[in-house]
Amino acid sequence: MKLNYKPDFSKNHRRTFLRQFGAGITALAVPNIFLNGKANTIPPINKIPFLELSQDFQDESYWEMVKKQFIIAPGKIMVNAANLCPSPHFVNERVANYSQDLASDVSFQNRGKFGKERGRVIKRMAKFLNVDSLEIGITRNTSESNNIVVNGLDFGAEDEILIWDQNHPTNNIAWEQRARRYGFVVKKISVPSAPESKADLVKAFKDQMSPRTRLIAFSHISNVSGIALPAKEICQMAREQNVLTLVDGAQSFGFLNLDLRAMGCDFYSSSTHKWLMGPMENGILYARKAVMDKLWPNIIAAGWKEDHQSLDEKVCVLGQRNTPSTPAIIDIIDFHETVGTPNIEARVRYLNAYLKEQIRKKLPNATFVTPLASELSGGITIFRLPGKEPRMIFQKLYENYGIAGAPTGGIRLSPHIYCTSKDMDRIVEALVALAGD
């Protein structure tokens, strides 16, 4: 498995890197960010050199250091990033401290800080995704973001929407329900179960487009197969035909090194509690400035204004929310940028490649739902064991071995940077034992 990074793994480089990394994270372990209602400044994560990776980049001592920033219970292995990730300890502390501050003083005066923090989060998120801050809104999760788009665009009986049949229900059933009400056509697209190239995946959508097609809605990476669609190519094809695109990024945001401007999508949705490893009950919605005015608000709460200037003001004024959790998004973005987003993507790809290799080697009868090729998959590995019901394996993995996965599409394992190669070895050992039962 080749990764295009040049390594520098001299002992001095590793020791300096880990020492700086540890010092930076420790700086965040501050008991309280508020004292008697007055804000104290938490030092930011120290900026350190990117870990340079290569095809032999398995510096497990570094990734063990990363793992220690999470409070995963001893003996447990979390490989369920496709559903929910643990957050680093400092994210949990940030949320807890803000929650305590709010509980101690719910006045409008004290709560004013949360509006300012929300503005800071939007600016950092926009920079993180290489878009304009006016194009970013904070929601509660991917589901809400998807439904804002589904219910916010105008379509009539003459229009057609293309959706991937592997979409999440919020980007699938939601379209079908709205079509029943307004009369437009929803056409489901299937892709080859064993695609040989990105071109195979793009062709599946291109062949179903017609003059009536107004929007293509698809998951960037499927949560039920692990197939990764070539989003940039699909969005470019759609733009050439004046067709809108909605990309559900629940399985790519926080894992891939993303640039939404380069991707060329019109709308992008995701959550912070999955691959970003951030606080729960926060999501993002991106709408390209040129198409923002096409969206009608779904919910109008106190504070909404007709002369909105940003996406957040236009469609994300949703009433009282879990405001103490949102500021911690900045902390997790700091963490991603400290470790290096390219390094995070490369590490997750390595873990999945290693896991697939070990399953193939030690469980040769296993059948993979997820493509083995890295360019056709992402951070999810789904497979089946002959004669074994996935839900039973899922349950036994946790009950007997403390391994948290999912029974989605088969046996679904989605490791993240808080996992190590040793964890992958333990998982395969457990699977071998369960396959023999």
Distance CA(35)–CA(32), nearest Å, equals 7
Quick one: pLDDT at residue 44? 46
Better pLDDT: 57 or 56: 57
pLDDT surpasses 80 at 2: no
Distance CA(375)–CA(226), nearest Å, equals 11
Using CB atoms within 10 Å of the CB of residue 372, give its burial: 0 to 12 exposed, 13 to 18 middle, 19+ buried: middle
Quick: pLDDT tens for 193-242.
Answer: 999 999 999 999 999 999 999 999 999 999 999 999 999 999 999 999 99
**What is the residue-averaged pLDDT of the chain?**
89
Say if residues 219 and 167 touch (Cβ distance below 8 Å): yes
Q: What is the SS3 assignment for the chain?
A: CCCCCCCCCCHHHHHHHHHHHHHHHHCCCCCCCEECCEECCCCCCCCCCCCCCCCCCCCHHHHHHHHCCECCCCCCEECECCCCCCCEHHHHHHHHHHHHHHHHCCCHHHHHHHHHHHHHHHHHHHHHHCCCHHHEEEECCHHHHHHHHHHHCCCCCCCEEEEECCCCHHHCHHHHHHHHHHCCEEEEECCCCCCCCHHHHHHHHHCCCCCCEEEEEEECECCCCCEECCHHHHHHHHHHCCCEEEEECCCCECCECCCHHHHCCCEEEEECCCCCCCCCCCEEEEECHHHHHHCCCCCCCCCCCCCCCCHHHHHCCCCCCCHHHCCHHHHHHHHHHHHCHHHHHHHHHHHHHHHHHHHHHHCCCCEECCCCCHHHECCCEEEECCCCCHHHHHHHHHHHHCEECECCCCEEEECCCCCCHHHHHHHHHHHHHHHHC
Quick: pLDDT tens for 293-317.
Answer: 999 999 999 888 888 889 999 999 9
Quick one: pLDDT at residue 113? 94
Alpha carbons within 13 angstroms on the beta-carbon side of residue 305 total: 7
Quick: pLDDT tens for 387-418.
Answer: 999 999 999 999 999 999 999 999 999 999 99
Quick one: pLDDT at residue 349? 95
pLDDT surpasses 70 at 361: yes
pLDDT surpasses 80 at 32: no
Q: Please name the residue that has the structure tokens 């892709």.
A: 191
Ordered by where they begin, the domains of the chain are: 117-330 (3.40.640.10), 343-436 (3.90.1150.10)
Say if residues 8 and 52 touch (Cβ distance below 8 Å): yes
Quick: pLDDT tens for 162-192.
Answer: 999 999 999 999 999 999 999 999 999 999 9
**Model pTM score:** 0.89
Number of residues that this document lists for the chain? 437
Least confident window among 17-21, 68-72, 102-106, 193-197: 17-21
Quick: pLDDT tens for 253-274.
Answer: 999 999 999 999 999 999 999 9
Contacts of 122 (CB under 8 A, 6+ apart): 133, 136, 137, 138, 310, 312
Quick one: pLDDT at residue 321? 87
pLDDT surpasses 50 at 128: yes
Give percent above pLDDT 90 in the chain. Answer: 80
Quick one: pLDDT at residue 437? 76
Mean pLDDT of the 36-64 span: 57
